Structure 1
């Protein structure tokens, strides 16, 4: 029979192993005990593929459908109560895939990405800029396009579903979906108007699910790690990338580019417990994230924004 000391040592090793497993699980998915799920009560929001927080109304959000709908947005509050439908005059909706919101000294704005291209055949991708409406009392309201960005990939068409704006830099970032490794592009909010805008290719992202475990996917195909949404928090130092399986969080250090920040292993991960996670945003204060799924009704889930680990600990 084993000696009592050997048994005690074996039990201690097992206990330490279990402790490390629990710590690793909590580090990978830090907020599993603090989630709030709700449904949006709007019969027209059937295939939600983009969501963004209002910068005018606290706890209000804007969302849009995937391809097949007209050019319109839907607003709702944090309980899922529908507010209004915003129709974008003069817009087309070939394949709306993501949206962002931001504010500057001139006002609050919504940015809508008509950037989807499953067959990778489109000569242009379009992004629409509209002013966020202040009056939501009517069931249907209209907005004119403030700016239409016609974008060109200089290396040929790409399919993308992830777009984020850094209002401080005044750059919009687009992350592709069907390349072997997601490709990061950007353009300026202040690009010369009236002309097609060449997208600036920055590089590939090879950090999902981590640097060590990242693998190429089949060119033109999709996987559980394909980006379906992206967002940058209001303070401009944390980005999240939504995939079908998980949402990943990246911290940008002072004077660091977003390409470098997104190519570090994510500091946190949230498992998407939704049928088809296709959208995500930070709340107006940046303290929570909201992840949304396609389907009827549209289901969304709040989680706390994972805290960045203190490097001194």
Structure 2
């Protein structure tokens, strides 16, 4: 049996141990910024069953647009960061073969949304589609209708490609598409000001070899997907950063002034950890660029809000 002095020393060391472990994180359990500050909400729209694309309104704070994956009709859902549905917007003049992503921008002529019907799991589509919409400023009823402003009919001159990631740079006036099932993701673009009435060739820019990092990037089998395959992409409205979303993590890329997007996306990214969700397919920046919103398929649709990473 321990004496009184030894028992007192044991109790003292136990108290010191508890104080030390509460003051510093344990090895391997250090919290990241998004682990301590992120929050998650659910979108109160039972019809939004397979959220595959999300984008912030370029003209209204706390308004977001989202759409389902293949199998749904041509429609968008507007909601806020409290999960309240603002309207269901039916799109006239658009088909919905395999909607995979969306983006938004604002210029001198107005506020716009872009919908990417670019999914091609079997790599057989000779053409894919992107639809341009003029964003409705006032949401007047639970259900609304809107006709497309323009249809971009896209053709890959190097053959069909499956893609789920699209972003727009309104200053350059280019829309970018990143493929999913290539050995290395391939970056393409086309102009918002391309001639109407004819197919638009996609301009191939190069490969993205930065995920999960430059030194750990590995080729994936042709036609296959991995946990590093892009499921969404977005540029900040200010054009100073990008994210690439995958089923496991999201990758953040700051962009320097006058730097090309291909160069920016080929830098080693900041890894953004996202809490487990059923199937992560969507991501965007908030309108002010201070937050990331990462979304998943499932009912109800779940979205995690994460502070934008700080980089030097």
Instruction: Report the secondary structure of 1:227's partner residue.
Output: coil
Match of 1:118 among 102, 112, 121: 121
Q: Equivalent residue for 2:172?
A: 169
Which of the residues 32, 36, 56 maps onto 2:39? 36
The alpha-carbon deviation at position 135 of structure 1 amounts to: 1.9
After TM superposition, where is structure 1 displaced by more than 4 Å over at least 4 residues in a row?
A: 18-23
Note the 1:42-191 alignment, pairs <5 A. 42-191=45-194
Q: Distance in 2 between matches of 1:148 and 1:308?
A: 38
Residues 121-178 of structure 1: per-residue CA shift (max 9 Å, x gap): 0001100000001121211111111110000111100000000001111111000001
In the TM superposition, residue 218 of structure 1 has moved relative to its aligned partner by 1.1
Q: Distance in 2 between matches of 1:267 and 1:280?
A: 15
Question: Do the aligned partners of residues 272 and 164 (structure 1) sit closer, same or farther apart at CA in structure 2, a change above 3 Å counting?
Answer: farther
Which residue among 231, 234, 239 is the counterpart of 2:237? 234
**Number of equivalent positions:** 289
TM-score, normalised with respect to structure 1: 0.89
Residue matched to 2:255:
252
Indicate if the aligned counterparts of 2:274 and 2:304 stay in contact, CA closer than 8 A: no
State TM-score, norm by structure 2.
0.89
Query: Does structure 2 conserve the Cα–Cα contact (< 8 Å) formed by 1:250 and 1:268?
Result: no
Cα distance in 2 for partners of 1:22, 1:188 equals: 46
Deviation at 1:21, TM superposition (A): 6.6
In the TM superposition, residue 281 of structure 1 has moved relative to its aligned partner by: 0.5
The alignment yields a C-alpha RMSD, in angstroms, of 1.7
Bigger radius of gyration among the two:
2
CA distance in 2: counterparts of 1:111 and 1:283, whole angstroms: 16
2: distance between equivalents of 1:124 and 1:296? Answer: 31
Query: How do 1:268-307 residues align onto structure 2 when only pairs under 5 Å count?
Result: 268-307=271-310
Q: Distance in 2 between matches of 1:177 and 1:196?
A: 22
Gaps of 5+ in 1: 1-17
Instruction: Check if 1:220 corresponds to 2:223.
Output: yes
